[in-house]
Amino acid sequence: MEIDNKTLMMRLNRQKKRIDHLEKKISDIHKAIIQIHLKKEPFEKSYLSPVELDIKGAEITLLSFAGMRQVIGVPRAEFFKTLSGSDRYNIIFLKDFNQAWYQCGLFGISDNVDDTVGYLKSIIPPSTKRLITLGSSSGGFAAILYGSLLGAEKTISFAPQTFLNEEVFKRFKNVDSKKECIVNAPYKDLNLLRGDGGTIHHVYVGKNNKYDQIHIDNIKDNKRFIIHWLDTSSHNVAKFMKENGTLDHLLLSI
């Protein structure tokens, strides 16, 4: 039996409503789990937590911002393998479940950038004398943004976006990305940042990647940004550096 277009659209709309309802239920459950985790100090390492802590009373604290799920950033396992074995670093690992450049905050904890800054200040250990942020792609955007707002000593980013608009969202988004977070974002251009101090931003980028160069052009005249050009066309420069042995050297030299 053939189905006319009107009937088909009605069925599709009903199905979409069911999916939206299910996604909301899952989201509510996830937030409830996070609220339970918030009562535990420190956070246990958990796939469901937007924050994981590895605090050792060290003078150097690293805030590591994960990127989009389809973009391989600083590999989590390798990152912890490289740094967590050393007592020199406190590590705070952050994940953006809204998949929106951390513009809507940390899922279940904060709803915007400013509240996230306040939350991060509350969990940075008092032993910290040097604060450094790092991340890749959208995580690199967040590293620069939050590093500046927190007055970090420096940020380390790998092929970050340096501005946000609809085209950037379409290029990097995934099924979980919340477009409304970008539409209403107060921090869309990293070249316009006014932070708490003289944070220096180290940016690692492939010199043969034309799209990434567009984002570098946005900040190239800003003296707070130091650009490190790599001989690759890959957007995944963290992986490139990992494979040629320079990533571990960079991380361990912080």
pLDDT digits (tens, 9 = 90+) for 90-102: 999 898 988 899 9
Average pLDDT over residues 187-196: 82
Q: Is 149 buried (19+), middle (13-18) or exposed (0-12) by CB count in 10 A? A: buried
| Distance, CA of 242 to chain centre | 19
Please check whether residue 204 is in contact with residue 144, taking contact to mean a CB–CB distance below 8 angstroms: no
User: φ, ψ for residue 47 (rounded to 5)?
Assistant: -60, -30
* Of 243 and 4, more confident: 243
Kindly indicate the confidence band of residue 215, based on its pLDDT and cuts at 50, 70 and 90: very high
Residue 232: is its pLDDT beyond 70? yes
Whole-number pLDDT of residue 67:
85
Whole-number pLDDT of residue 185:
86
Kindly indicate the confidence band of residue 10, based on its pLDDT and cuts at 50, 70 and 90: confident
Residue 226: is its pLDDT beyond 70? yes
Kindly indicate the confidence band of residue 33, based on its pLDDT and cuts at 50, 70 and 90: low
**CA distance to 91, 92, 108, 181, per residue, from 100 (Å):** 22, 19, 15, 6
Superfamily (CATH) of domain 46-252: Alpha/Beta hydrolase fold, catalytic domain (3.40.50.1820)
The residue ranges of every structural domain in the chain are: 1-39, 46-252
Whole-number pLDDT of residue 218:
96
Average pLDDT over residues 164-173: 91
pLDDT tens for each residue of 113-124: 999 999 999 999
Q: In what order do the strands lie in the sheet with 89-94?
A: 51-54, 89-94, 60-65, 130-136, 154-158, 200-206, 225-230
Whole-number pLDDT of residue 178:
84
* Count of Cβ atoms closer than 10 Å to residue 216 Cβ: 18
Alpha helix stretches (DSSP H) within the chain: 5-38, 76-83, 113-123, 138-150, 166-172, 179-183, 210-219, 237-243, 246-252
Contacts of residue 172, Cβ cutoff 8 Å, sequence gap at least 6: 68, 71, 137, 138, 161
Whole-number pLDDT of residue 104:
92
* Count of Cβ atoms closer than 10 Å to residue 57 Cβ: 10
Mean of the per-residue pLDDT values of the chain: 83
* Of 128 and 17, more confident: 128
* Of 6 and 109, more confident: 109
